[in-house]
């Protein structure tokens, strides 16, 4: 068989090491890894002096989202093009169950919004907002349909997202039986609402009060509760966007006891700290949980290096600078979230590998292999081995670029990483063997991404 393509003479980086090799691709899959220069195929992509990584798996993005009265800049097309430009070949977005409606309708509706538009492969976590006997009966079918992870919010009642502990526990039991995983946005609503009310009553409306109203305690309590409920229910637990040292210690202790518990942190927590809230543009950095102090940041890097944080995600939520400014007069009205799907690679590579916080294999694990395994994609995604999808990104570890407002694909009007000098930019992104981005230019088409049917962890 003649191979379609060979990525030649690059350094192939995997979670178990890095070595010079040729990656041989045919029929959308990796078919062989051979000595540098030994690969034969119709097209040779020269990768001397470059790194070859598994395509990124960003397991937490919010494209085409409306939240707190604002809409994201990215829809499923532009968001997935941005993802590919950032070296990601798979993303996991969210399907929202609206209160009073079926969960399955939420999944079907989201697939209609996405399927014909996506440029990279994508999966969906199901956001459950209304848990009752009827909707619980849908859980096995949802897991079978590939939405094996659910997200539950323990906050945001005003946005009609919050689920109380009783129904959450029921959902965990149903998911545990069906072979799914519960994921939590874990913050204590009562502590936070109380603190917000106190700040507002005192006229304290600046962005910095967003951080003080959502302390690590609020996160830690909700993680602790989630662990207890999930363990009792026999359900694997994942904590989304974790940014609290005591909460991470709880996750690590649970993992050491053998509880099926995982967590992710996000690039903004690894790159930015709470002093950002004090700037004139502090409103741009409002997300939940909030940015914290340098010690918390160092602990998050430590968790990524140890692997207790199994993934680093972007939690991409691309509200424009204008949209964020609409709420700037009072911190509780600022649309929560920051963009990052395109920044994840250079931020992780530069601050992680180049600055010595992660080894190259640890970086590959958190970038791609870890999230692929955690979220049921481990056979085909996140691996550079024969038989896996040829989802690859070739990066230049030496080229440096300064992040600017217009570094991302979308007209978002700000960039949380503006001014940072970063390395590790993608030169080419391959989706199932096809070069879909070359030097930042999108060469693919809408709808080329596939829906990823994800199954739960082995039982
Ligand atoms: O502030 C955040 N994280 N915004 C996005 C929505 C979510 O909670 O994931
Ligand atoms: Zn969340």
C-alpha separations of 388 from 32, 123, 146, 438, 449 in Å: 10, 17, 19, 22, 16
Does residue 325 share a domain with residue 390? no
Atom number of ligand 1 nearest to Cα 266: 3
Does residue 332 share a domain with residue 298? yes
To which H or E segment does residue 70 belong?
A: strand 70-71
Q: What percent of the chain has pLDDT over 70?
A: 99
Q: Is residue 23 part of a domain?
A: yes
Which two three-digit tokens encode residue 230?
């999930």
**Contact 317 CB / ligand 1 (< 6 Å):** yes
Q: How far is CA 192 from the centre of its chain?
A: 24
Judge if the upstream peptide bond of residue 429 is cis by omega within 30 degrees of 0: no
Q: Which residue carries 């060979």 as its tokens?
A: 6
Does residue 328 share a domain with residue 286? yes
Q: Given this model, what pLDDT does residue 2 score?
A: 86
Q: Is residue 339 part of a domain?
A: yes
What CATH number does residue 435 fall under?
2.30.40.10
Q: Given this model, what pLDDT does residue 456 score?
A: 78
Specify the DSSP class assigned to residue 369. I
pLDDT tens readout for residues 406-458: 999 999 999 999 999 999 999 999 999 999 999 999 999 999 999 999 987 76
**Residue environment code for 85-123, b if the CB has 16+ CB neighbours within 10 A, otherwise e:** bbbbbbbbbbbbbeeeebbbebbeebbebbeebbbbbbb
Q: Is residue 35 part of a domain?
A: yes
Residue nearest to atom 9 of ligand 1 (CA): 315
Q: Is residue 459 part of a domain?
A: no
Over the chain (459 residues), the average pLDDT of each successive run of 10 is: 93 97 98 98 98 98 96 98 98 98 98 98 98 98 98 97 98 98 98 98 98 98 98 98 98 98 98 98 98 98 98 98 97 98 98 98 98 96 98 97 97 98 98 98 98 83
Does residue 170 share a domain with residue 70? yes
C-alpha separations of 172 from 94, 146, 182 in Å: 18, 17, 6
Q: Where are the beta strands (DSSP E) in 306-440?
A: 311-313, 316-317, 392-402, 421-431, 434-438
Does residue 321 share a domain with residue 298? yes
Other Cβ atoms within 10 Å of 48 Cβ, number: 11
Does residue 392 share a domain with residue 244? no
Q: Given this model, what pLDDT does residue 372 score?
A: 98
- Ligand in nearest proximity to the CA of 93: 1
Residue nearest to atom 4 of ligand 1 (CA): 337
Does residue 204 share a domain with residue 100? yes
Q: How far is CA 297 from the centre of its chain?
A: 17
Residue of 239, 242, 327, 336 best suited for mutating to test ligand 1, as the one with most atoms within 8 Å of CB: 336
**Contact 318 CB / ligand 1 (< 6 Å):** no
Does residue 180 share a domain with residue 84? yes
Residues 237, 262 contacting (CB under 8 angstroms): yes
**Contact 426 CB / ligand 1 (< 6 Å):** no
Does residue 394 share a domain with residue 360? no
Q: Which residue carries 């004090």 as its tokens?
A: 278
What CATH number does residue 209 fall under?
3.20.20.140
Q: Is residue 45 part of a domain?
A: yes
Residues 91, 82 contacting (CB under 8 angstroms): no
Phi and psi at residue 398, to the nearest 5°: -105, -35
- Ligand in nearest proximity to the CA of 324: 1
Distance from Cα 399 to the centre of ligand 2, integer Å:
33
Query: What are the contacts of 271-275 at 24+ separation with CB within 8 A?
Result: 271/347, 271/351, 271/416, 271/417, 271/420, 272/416, 272/417, 273/297, 274/208, 274/211
Phi-psi region of 146 (alpha: psi -120 to 50; beta: other; left: phi over 0): left
Q: Given this model, what pLDDT does residue 458 score?
A: 62
**Contact 336 CB / ligand 1 (< 6 Å):** yes
Does residue 404 share a domain with residue 276? no
Domain housing 360 = 56-374
Does residue 45 share a domain with residue 106? no
Distance from Cα 450 to the centre of ligand 2, integer Å:
24
Q: Is residue 456 part of a domain?
A: no
Closest to 124 in 3D by CA, of 169, 76, 164, 157: 76
Q: Is residue 118 part of a domain?
A: yes
Phi-psi region of 255 (alpha: psi -120 to 50; beta: other; left: phi over 0): alpha
- How many helices (DSSP H) and strands (DSSP E) are in the chain? 15, 21
3-class SS of residue 144? helix
Does residue 227 share a domain with residue 170? yes
How many domains, the chain?
2
Q: How far is CA 391 from the centre of its chain?
A: 17
Output the DSSP codes for 202-229. TT--STHHHHHTS-HHHHHHHHHHHHHH
Specify which residues 11 forms β-bridges with. Answer: 20, 51
The torsion defined by the Cα of 192, 193, 199 and 205, in degrees rounded to 10, comes to 90
Q: Is residue 280 part of a domain?
A: yes
C-alpha separations of 283 from 105, 197, 287, 324 in Å: 35, 19, 9, 7
């Amino acid at each position: 068989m003649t191979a379609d393509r060979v990525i030649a003479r690059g350094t192939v980086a995997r979670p178990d090491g890095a070595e010079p090799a040729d990656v041989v691709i045919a029929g959308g899959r990796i078919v062989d890894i051979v000595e540098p220069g030994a690969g034969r195929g119709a097209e040779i992509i020269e990768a001397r002096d470059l790194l070859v990584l598994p395509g990124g798996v960003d397991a937490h993005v919010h494209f085409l989202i409306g939240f707190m009265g604002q809409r994201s800049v990215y829809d499923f097309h532009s968001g997935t093009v941005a993802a590919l430009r950032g070296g990601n070949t798979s993303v996991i977005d969210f399907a929202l169950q609206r209160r009073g409606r079926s969960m399955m309708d939420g999944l079907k509706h989201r697939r209609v919004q996405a399927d014909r538009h996506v440029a990279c492969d994508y999966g969906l976590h199901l956001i459950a907002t209304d848990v009752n006997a009827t909707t619980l009966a849908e859980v096995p079918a949802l897991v079978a349909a590939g939405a094996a992870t659910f997200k539950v919010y323990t906050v945001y009642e005003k946005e009609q997202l919050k689920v109380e502990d009783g129904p959450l526990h029921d959902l965990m039991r149903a998911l545990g039986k069906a072979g799914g995983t519960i994921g939590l946005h874990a913050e204590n609503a009562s502590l936070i609402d109380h603190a917000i009310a106190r700040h507002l009553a005192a006229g304290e409306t600046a962005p910095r009060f967003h951080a003080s109203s959502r302390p690590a305690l609020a996160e830690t309590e909700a993680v602790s509760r989630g662990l207890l409920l999930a363990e009792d229910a026999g359900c694997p637990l994942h904590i989304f966007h974790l940014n609290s040292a005591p909460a991470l210690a709880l996750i690590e202790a649970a993992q050491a006891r053998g509880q099926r518990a995982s967590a992710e942190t996000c690039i903004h927590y690894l790159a930015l700290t709470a002093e950002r809230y004090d700037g004139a543009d502090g409103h741009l950095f409002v997300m939940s949980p909030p940015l914290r102090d340098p010690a918390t940041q160092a602990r998050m890097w430590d968790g990524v290096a140890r692997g207790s944080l199994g993934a680093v995600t972007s939690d991409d939520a691309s509200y424009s600078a204008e949209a964020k400014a609409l709420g700037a007069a009072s911190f509780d009205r600022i649309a929560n979230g920051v963009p990052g799907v395109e920044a994840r690679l250079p931020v992780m590579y530069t601050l992680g590998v180049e600055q010595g916080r992660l080894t190259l294999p640890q970086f590959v694990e958190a970038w791609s292999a870890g999230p692929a395994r955690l979220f049921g994609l481990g056979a085909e995604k996140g691996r550079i081995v024969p038989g896996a999808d040829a989802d690859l990104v070739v990066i230049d570890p030496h080229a440096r670029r300064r992040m600017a407002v217009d570094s991302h694909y979308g007209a978002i009007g700000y960039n949380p990483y503006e001014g940072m000098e970063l390395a590790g930019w993608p030169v080419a992104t391959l989706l199932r063997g096809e070069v879909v981005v070359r030097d930042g230019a999108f060469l693919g088409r809408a709808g080329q991404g596939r829906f990823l049917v994800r199954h739960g962890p082995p039982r």
